[in-house]
Amino acid sequence: MTTDQSPLIHLTGVDKTYRRGSEEIRVLAGLSLTVQRGEFLALMGPSGSGKSTLLNLLGGLDRPTKGAVEIGGERIDALTDRRLAGWRARHVGLVFQFYNLLPVMTAERNVELPLLLTPLSRAERRRHVATALAVVGLRDRTNHYPRQLSGGEQQRVGIARAIVTDPTLLLCDEPTGDLDRKSGDEILSLLQTLNREQGKTIIMVTHDPHASARASRTVHLDKGQLSAAAPA
Amino acid sequence: MLNWLSQISAITFANLKTLPERRGAALAAAVGIAGVVTVLVGVLSIAEGFQRVLAVSGSPDVAIVLRSGSDTEMNSGLTHDDTRLIADAPGLARNAANLPLASAELFVVINLPKRSTGTDANVPLRGVSPAAFDVRGNLTLLEGRRFEPGKNEVMVGVGAARQFSGLDVGRTVRVGQTEWAVVGVFTAGGGVAESEVWTDAAVLQPAYHRGDTYQAVYAKLISADAFHTFTDALTTNPSLSIKAMRQSDFYAEQSTLLVGFVKGIGITIAGLMAVGALFGALNTMYSSVAARTREIATLRALGFGSSPVVVSVLLESLALALAGGVLGAAGAWLAFDGHTTSTMNWQTFSQVAFAFRVSPALLVEAILWAAMIGVLGGLFPAIRAARIPIAAALRET
């Protein structure tokens, strides 16, 4: 990814259509969106509005039916599956609503997973993992398994895993959706810190206005189209 | 490449760590494969044991001479003159008294009850010449003594003594109108002679109204290379109508029918069981992949490739199969190896005593069967795992 001042994300005329039997469901309809580097963007909208589909397109987990998805100057919709997997590993950190940690691995090993895709040595990987866990405040939980951690702690491990490769872009799919208010606030504060102090560009899908209030900009999706954009 | 191996290692680790959660299905698959291996090893160890007995019986520097057109001693016939001409042929080894090491022999079948079932079975009774002991060279007395020439005495191979009643030293065996005193028990290096009862050919001839005829000549050659000199001399002699074979080739040929039959049975049964075990493995691996759909999707989302997913699922399946294979092989080894029995040698219509033999090669073959079931059982689930739609699977609970 380039480091110039051009927008990080540029979506142009993106359509996404799913087929269910003989029926075609148009989830995104000619959507265009630009996100600047260092933005913290909240993506809101009712269920089925296409928020998660949009996030999947931005993360290279899915492809548009039509239109262009350009991130960091690269048309990711044109990459092969193999190159797209490599691109994800290098440039994107993913944070999930249900944390998606591997239950048989300790926090340390879960965080280490994305580093297995890099040429780093074992010692270097350990150092990076320790730093990431320190950033999310879990330095003392390295050898705990997910079942031994609270929901908030598990999400912190998820965030540590997302930032351990130092990606430019963090994509968070309802990161506080499974947490109580207090834990949710802590996670949002952590995301804000990552955005402000480390310059991470964050796109967060949420239903929660309280969460979107922490973002620098909120866009609303309705029936596959951006209905409004309001500055925070 | 290192990345790729790291990915495989991480996914395989996660797969194997979740095995206890799926222990029921995993155990069923492993036990199914263990069953295949046990049956395969069990049946093929019969063939191995039988083959071994016949293999160790034959020596390349011993020739067996039969009447031309005969395949076995049973349907062969040689006159006294034939045996004399054979003993004079070039290439034969001689003893200290410069006598040729050639034993003219008779081969008849007698009925004796099996110790295990009490039912009668065919036991070979061989009449030998004095040179027979030097021709074989591997006969050792375990008990008693050799028979005395000219007397109704027999010495018994250790396999026959174990398998059939009445062959203990000091007892008398009645066959037809003749009584034979058992005077010794011998070993013959694990060979087929251990299934036989031996006596003096000169005594056996009148007992079976054979006149002055024999059925085979066993001849010790100067060396294995002397075989062609020996056979050329015999086959070019117009007064002889014989065929000569190396003893090793003769016994190898004798074992082919039974060994082929037993192997065919074993592989057919194991093959049918393998199909069942394959479905067990498929079921286990499909459920394994289904249980970890979200984990696999998460790893794919993080950037893990599809090929490490395929390989890791295959490795899990292989690990299960190998565990089952080792279990089955160990069970078969404990249950079958060394178990002695006897079976009909269809070439001589007489019993051959042998021990089941679970050889290292057989164990390797069985483990390869298990591995094949594992790989086939894991292949389709592995492909399914690699094709999981990432975006949808990430939200599975």
- For chain B, the structural domain boundaries read 2-55+255-395, 69-240
**Side-chain-facing half-sphere of B265: CA atoms under 13 Å:** 12
Contact A191, A40 (CB under 8 A): yes
- B1 — contact with chain A (CB < 8 Å)? no
Rounded Cα gap, residues B166 and B120, in angstroms: 12
pTM of the model: 0.69
With bands split at pLDDT 50, 70 and 90, how would you rate the model's confidence at A230? very low
Inter-chain CB proximity B302 and A118 less than 8 Å? no
Q: How far is B281 from chain A (nearest CA, A)?
A: 23
Residue A63: C-alpha distances to residues A81, B22, B26, B38, B166 (Å)? 10, 35, 37, 51, 86
**Cβ B3–A82 below 8 Å, yes or no?**
no
A28 falls within a domain: no
Spell out a b/e string for B270-300, using b for 16 or more CB atoms within 10 Å of the CB, else e.
Answer: beebbeebbebbbbbbbbbbeebbbbbbbbb
Determine, for residues B294 and A59 on separate chains, whether the beta-carbon distance falls below 8 Å.
Answer: no
ipTM, interface predicted TM-score of the complex: 0.90
A45 domain-assigned: yes
Q: How far is CA B219 from the centre of its chain?
A: 27
Q: Does A167 reach chain B within 8 Å, measured CB to CB?
A: no
Ramachandran angles phi, psi of A62, nearest 5°: -150, 165
Question: CA A15 to CA A65: how far, in whole Å?
Answer: 5
The CATH number covering residue A161 comes to 3.40.50.300
Q: What is the pLDDT of residues A89-102, one digit of tens each?
A: 999 999 999 999 99
Query: Domain count of chain A?
Result: 1
A18, part of any domain: no
Is A86 part of the contact surface with chain B (CB cutoff 8 Å)? Answer: yes
Domain assignment of residue A111, given as a range? 38-62+81-231
Out of B7, B14, B397, name the one closest to residue A102 (CB).
B14
Q: Nearest Cα to A165, choosing from A201, A193, A141, A129? A: A129
Q: pLDDT tens, A167-223? A: 999 999 999 988 899 999 999 999 999 999 999 999 999 999 999 999 999 999 988
A43 within domain boundaries: yes
DSSP code of residue B209: T
Residue B397 has pLDDT above 70, yes or no: no
Alpha carbons A32 and A55: distance in angstroms, whole number: 13
CB B50, CB B344: distance < 8 Å: no
Distance set, CA A220 to CA A13, A63, A66, A215, B338 (Å): 17, 21, 21, 13, 79
- B137 pLDDT above the threshold of 60: yes
Query: What confidence category does residue B305 fall into, taking pLDDT thresholds of 50, 70 and 90?
Result: confident
With the C-alpha atoms ordered B196, B201, B207, B213, is the resulting torsion angle positive or negative? positive
Say yes or no: B243 contacts chain A, CB-CB below 8 A.
Answer: no
In a domain, A32, yes or no: no
**Would you state the pLDDT for residue A228?**
57
Q: How confident is the model at residue B338 (pLDDT cuts 50, 70, 90)?
A: confident
Interchain contact A17–B (C-beta under 8 A): no
The model's pLDDT over B173-225, given as tens digits with 9 standing for 90+, comes to 988 788 999 999 999 988 888 989 999 999 999 998 899 999 999 999 999 99
CA distance B374 to chain A (A): 24
A159 pLDDT higher than 80: yes
